[in-house]
């Protein structure tokens, strides 16, 4: 539990840092960030749309086909009995497992968004360094670079946590699928 709370705080800090940067950035910085987001927006939107469709297909497949459950596997003959608590539990567990798998891919989208953000921040820094005219501004750019490095380190720890959480969730799903409900 401590690990979850600790890394949730990292994630919250990271999101607050991004929010603060967006509120204080000038128009040129926002344009560079927007350029990066526009570059990957179509891919992200397509992923989210397709993953959402996959989740809906998992949920509603039995309603549009003759199958009783979302997953088409062999079931014992006593499962032919009309709706029982056992068949309801199997249905719910299959929907839960399917949606959990679909939603787990959002972790990849989150990680890609963080990486895109830092790439844009580095491009903003590069642009600022090219247009530097004073020594004080160079020092400000160096400080900003150090801040970006610190944020990347926090992001790295957060990404490791997200990947660990993803693997644990999938592992728990697999282990729980071994317990028969029949």
Three-class DSSP labels, 77-130: HHHHCCCCHHHHHHHHHHHHHHHHHHHHCHHHHHHHHHHHHHHHHHHHHHHHHH
Phi-psi label, residue 4: left if phi above 0, alpha if psi -120 to 50, beta otherwise: alpha
| Rounded average pLDDT over 113-125 | 87
State residue 146's pLDDT score: 92
* Range with the largest mean pLDDT of 14-18, 97-101, 169-173: 14-18
| Rounded average pLDDT over 106-134 | 85
Q: What is the pLDDT of residues 51-104, one digit of tens each?
A: 888 878 877 888 888 877 777 766 666 666 676 777 788 788 778 777 777 777
Flag whether pLDDT at 181 surpasses 60.
no
pTM confidence score: 0.69
State residue 41's pLDDT score: 83
Residue 182 inside a domain? The answer is no
Residue 156 inside a domain? The answer is yes
Structure tokens at 181: 């409900």
Residue 168 inside a domain? The answer is yes
Residue 25 inside a domain? The answer is yes
* Range with the largest mean pLDDT of 21-30, 52-61, 170-179: 21-30
Residue 13 inside a domain? The answer is yes
Q: Average pLDDT of the chain?
A: 80
Handedness of CA 20, 23, 29, 30 (dihedral sign): positive
State which residues form the domain around 154: 2-177
State residue 45's pLDDT score: 84
Residue 124 inside a domain? The answer is yes
Question: What's the domain count of the chain?
Answer: 1
State residue 117's pLDDT score: 86
State residue 49's pLDDT score: 86
């Amino acid at each position: 539990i401590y690990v979850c709370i600790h890394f949730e705080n990292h994630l919250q800090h990271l999101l607050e840092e991004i929010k603060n940067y967006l509120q204080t950035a000038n128009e040129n910085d926002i344009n560079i960030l927007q350029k990066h987001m526009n570059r990957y927006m179509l891919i992200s939107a397509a992923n989210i749309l397709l993953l959402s469709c996959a989740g809906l297909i998992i949920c509603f497949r039995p309603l549009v086909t003759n199958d009783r459950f979302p997953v088409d596997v062999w079931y014992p003959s006593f499962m032919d009995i009309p709706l029982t608590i056992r068949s309801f539990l199997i249905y719910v567990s299959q929907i839960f497992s399917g949606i959990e798998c679909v939603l787990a891919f959002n972790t990849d989208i989150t990680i890609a968004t963080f990486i895109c953000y830092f790439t844009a921040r580095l491009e903003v820094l590069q642009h600022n360094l090219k247009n530097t005219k004073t020594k004080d501004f160079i020092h400000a750019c160096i400080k900003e670079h150090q801040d970006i490095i610190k944020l990347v380190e926090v992001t790295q720890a957060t990404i490791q946590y997200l990947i660990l959480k993803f693997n644990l969730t999938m592992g728990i799903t697999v282990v729980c699928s071994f317990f028969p409900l029949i």
